[in-house]
Amino acid sequence: MVRLPHTLAELERGERLGALLRRARGERSMLEVALDAGVSPETLRKIETGRVATPAFSTIAAITEVLGLSLDAVWAEVSRPAPDPGSGNSARNARERLVSAGSIAQVRSRLGR
């Protein structure tokens, strides 16, 4: 199977996703988060460093659930262009927006799944 090279937009989105997951992980160890999500620590490391620009949906869903993040909020955060460094947006504000959106488990329980 031939893989097409990633576009610049995909690479940048992958870097934003990795940075977001690192911030959300906080002080938790990479090993703990990876094992709780059912992925290898190497996979999580590659995603967090941007080496995997387009990880599998199921992988991101598992990691965001462990971190208590909303998939919708994660997508909204990583799909927008990188903020201007002088805009005053902080990592803490991004984390607060993501957590306030609710976790997958909360959404599922609201939907009765």
Residue 50 carries which side chain, given as an amino acid letter?
G
pLDDT number for residue 102: 52
Inter-residue contact 10 to 17 (CB < 8 Å): no
Residue 89: strand, helix, or coil: coil
DSSP 26-60: TTS-HHHHHHHHTS-HHHHHHHHTTSSSS--HHHH
- The values of phi and psi at residue 40, to 5°, are -75, 150
pLDDT number for residue 105: 55
pLDDT higher for 90 or 27? 27
Q: Tell me which H or E stretch contains 6.
A: none
Residues 57-96 pLDDT 10s: 999 999 999 999 999 999 999 988 765 555 555 555 555 5
> How far is C-alpha 67 from the geometric centre of its chain's CA atoms?
9
